[in-house]
């Protein structure tokens, strides 16, 4: 499993699509976005246009563990994106439940041979002013840590360029 993180518009999704396309395998694209407003609908449409039409697309704004566990073993799996998924979960779930859901997804993905997971890096900026923003930043940061730990390789994507991240304590 490959974990891609970086800022918004850094090229993470583009890289994930390229990796999957180069695999030569059938691709299952698991999308977590909710079309909650017109601008988000346009973003989702742009993402759809960037993917080959023969790929399977599963929309999983909440039930991500189910969506990834239902992928066939021979499919190349893309999960895009953890950031939106964590945000979606926050409305109806407490922190302990979200942590359990992240653990379940990380466990499932750690057993995948060919998967790429996309997630924003949100902890590099200022400390959010409000409690909801801090809660999101903390939950999302822990989710990224767990998914990166479950990955075989992790990359930071900045301006379309990648930097491989090492293992904890590897200096």
Domains along the sequence of the chain with CATH: 2-165 (3.40.50.300)
8-state DSSP, 122: -
> Mind listing the pLDDT tens digit for each residue in 123-158?
888 888 999 999 999 999 999 999 999 999 999 999
Contact 162, 5 (CB under 8 A): no
Global confidence as pTM: 0.92
What is the C-alpha to C-alpha distance for residues 168 and 171, in angstroms, rounded to an integer? 8
Those residues of the chain that have pLDDT short of 70 are: 168-171
Q: Burial-class residue 30 by CB neighbours within 10 Å (0-12, 13-18, 19+).
A: buried
- Active site residues per annotation: 47
Question: Chain-centre distance of CA 159, in angstroms?
Answer: 18
Q: Enumerate the H helices of the chain as residue ranges.
A: 12-23, 38-49, 64-69, 82-90, 95-110, 131-150
Q: In whole angstroms, how far apart are CA 155 and each of 61, 79, 147? A: 24, 15, 12
Residue-level pLDDT at 171: 44
């Amino acid at each position: 499993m490959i974990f891609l993180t970086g800022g918004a518009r850094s090229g993470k999704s583009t890289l994930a699509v390229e990796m999957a396309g180069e695999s030569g395998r059938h691709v299952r694209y698991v999308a977590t976005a909710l079309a909650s407003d017109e601008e988000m609908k346009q973003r989702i449409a742009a993402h759809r246009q960037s993917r080959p039409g023969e790929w399977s697309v599963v929309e999983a704004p909440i039930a991500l563990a189910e969506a990834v566990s239902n992928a066939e073993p021979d499919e190349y799996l893309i999960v895009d994106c953890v950031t939106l998924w964590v945000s979606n979960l926050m409305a109806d779930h407490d922190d302990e439940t979200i942590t359990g859901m992240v653990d379940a997804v990380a466990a499932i993905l750690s057993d995948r041979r060919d998967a790429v997971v996309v997630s924003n890096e949100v902890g590099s900026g200022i400390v959010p002013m409000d409690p909801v923003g801090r809660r999101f930043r903390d939950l999302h940061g822990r989710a990224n840590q767990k998914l990166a730990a479950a990955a075989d390789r992790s990359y930071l994507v900045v301006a379309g360029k990648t930097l491989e991240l090492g293992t904890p304590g590897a200096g």
